[in-house]
Amino acid sequence: MAIEATNGKKGWGDQDQVPGIKSELLELNMGPQHPATHGVLRLLLHTDGEIVYKVTPVLGYLHRCAEKIAEGVDYKQWVVYTDRFDYLAPMTCNHTYVTAVEKLGGIEVPARAEHLRIATAELSRVASHLIALATFGLDMGAWTPLLYCFREREEILNLLERISGGRMLYNYMVPGGVRYDLPRDNWVADVLEFVTMMEKKKLPDYNTLLTYNKIFIERTSDVGIITREDAFAYGCTGPVLRGSGVKWDCRRDDPYSLYHKFDFEIPVGMGEMGTVGDCWDRYIVRVREIEQSCRLIRQALEQLPEGPYQSIELKKPVRVPAGAAFTRTETAKGELGHYIVADGGQKPFRNKVRSCSMCNLQVLEKIGVGLMVSDLVATVGSLDIVLGEIDR
């Protein structure tokens, strides 16, 4: 009976290739507890042996409904929740939110505060990219770069702890400025020293250890290719978009804060090791962005102006006139956006967060099909998602 049914002519999703033997796709739950899903992501896979036939991301394991909480706390109080979005680069998320509130409320920000914001946000970005490199290497089975990257991240955490008091969740920026001025020690000199060390010594280290390793290139080039068209259609942003060869960076092309004053370049994927938009391209974009972030940190701190660092006293609540605006900024993972609907009160009427990791992950449904399980792991790693931000 089975022979008539299959006729030996199926396969690829509608199995039963061998007459007389009933076979079907393997349903595989990758996650929510899985070493390669970078958090509590669950990927429901349908596989044909090693080949993935269908990927269905299942989200919500870290859902806290921060948007609902936003409606109940006032504008300043909600900054702490933005820390918990992208907990690997909280400064950049802080920056997005305060920029959104300031734009809507017409709040002036002192230049000193903006310089400090840029310096800390870029430090955070470096830390986040270091984790991205580290865990991407780990997904490939390279353990050692992980420890190297964490060693440097530790330095960044120490520096950010000295300025903000927190090691992971900083709550540093407030609408109208930053919470604290520079610490009274030689923080600036230490940051500049770190940045120089990063550029001169550490990045070449990573490049020899991982980037130009033959096995690593074999594993990542021509894998998980996101074309330019797909990247736009799926709303990919950040290093994923730039990895697909699009020279686009919110910091330069849709400027906010004081980024237009500084000089930096936008690295893009060029298909050096394979096709434009493959995993290696997304990886190398992050490596080169670390370099550019270092440049930005140096400029922001060397040109640090004197003056106040807050335009609104810390204890005063922020008042935002009625209106609605969408603001996006470039975080480490992509363009984080806030659509704030204000009703003139002390609390937002609605605060919708446009999660960049969510849009970046969505493309996996398309490009994940036909990859091997190992390549899928590489692709998820190269998208560099963070579940705190997807689930909010």
CB 246 within 8 A of CB 235: no
**Which DSSP category does 391 fall into?**
H
Give min distance, CB of 292 to other proteins, in A: 20
Give the DSSP H/E element, type plus range, for residue 243. helix 239-243
Give DSSP secondary structure letters for 120-181.
HHHHHHHHHHHHHHHHHHHHTT--HHHHHHHHHHHHHHHHHHHHHS-SS----EETTEESS-
Strands 335-342 and 323-330, by their bridges, are antiparallel
Give min distance, CB of 19 to other proteins, in A: 23
Can you tell me which of 52, 138, 195, 387 binds other proteins, judged by CB under 8 A? 138
Residue 275 interacts with other proteins (CB under 8 A)?
Answer: no
Give DSSP secondary structure letters for 335-373.
EEEEEEEE-SSSSEEEEEEE-HHHHHHHTHHHHTTT-BH
Helix (H, G, I), strand (E, B) or coil at 15: coil
Question: Rounded to the nearest 5°, which phi and psi values hold at 357?
Answer: -60, -35
Residue 209 interacts with other proteins (CB under 8 A)?
Answer: yes
Can you tell me which of 78, 216, 264, 309 binds other proteins, judged by CB under 8 A? 216
Give min distance, CB of 345 to other proteins, in A: 3
Binding string, 4-33, against other proteins, x = CB under 8 A? ----------------------x-x-----
In order of 22, 37, 156, the CA distances from 168 in angstroms are 52, 21, 10
Which residues, in sequence order, are CB contacts of 24 under 8 Å at separation 6+?
Answer: 15, 16
Toward other proteins, which CB reaches closer, 16 or 139?
Answer: 139
Which residues, in sequence order, are CB contacts of 118 under 8 Å at separation 6+?
Answer: 257, 258, 259, 262, 296, 297, 300
Toward other proteins, which CB reaches closer, 11 or 72?
Answer: 72
Only segment of 5-13, 167-175, 274-282, 331-339 that touches other proteins (CB under 8 A): 331-339
Residue 208 interacts with other proteins (CB under 8 A)?
Answer: no
Give min distance, CB of 378 to other proteins, in A: 9
CB 128 within 8 A of CB 389: no
Only segment of 81-89, 120-128, 259-267, 338-346 that touches other proteins (CB under 8 A): 338-346
* Angle 338-341-347 from CA coordinates, rounded to 5°: 95
Residue 359 interacts with other proteins (CB under 8 A)?
Answer: yes
Toward other proteins, which CB reaches closer, 182 or 373?
Answer: 373
Only segment of 6-14, 108-116, 185-193, 207-215 that touches other proteins (CB under 8 A): 207-215
Residue 137 interacts with other proteins (CB under 8 A)?
Answer: yes
Give min distance, CB of 152 to other proteins, in A: 11
Instruction: Please give the single-letter amino acid code of residue 229.
Output: E
Toward other proteins, which CB reaches closer, 39 or 112?
Answer: 39
Only segment of 81-89, 169-177, 265-273, 351-359 that touches other proteins (CB under 8 A): 351-359
CB 278 within 8 A of CB 230: no
- Token pair for residue 177? 């400025």
Only segment of 11-19, 65-73, 265-273, 282-290 that touches other proteins (CB under 8 A): 65-73
Give min distance, CB of 139 to other proteins, in A: 5
Residue 44 interacts with other proteins (CB under 8 A)?
Answer: no
- Token pair for residue 280? 């290696």
Give min distance, CB of 29 to other proteins, in A: 8
Can you tell me which of 87, 181, 362, 369 binds other proteins, judged by CB under 8 A? 362
Ranges within 223-252 binding other proteins (CB under 8 A): 232-235, 246, 248
Give the separation between CA 180 and CA 47, rounded to whole angstroms. Answer: 52
Ranges within 145-204 binding other proteins (CB under 8 A): 147-148, 151
Q: Residue written as tokens 């802080």?
A: 94
Can you tell me which of 8, 11, 13, 72 binds other proteins, judged by CB under 8 A? 72
Toward other proteins, which CB reaches closer, 332 or 380?
Answer: 380
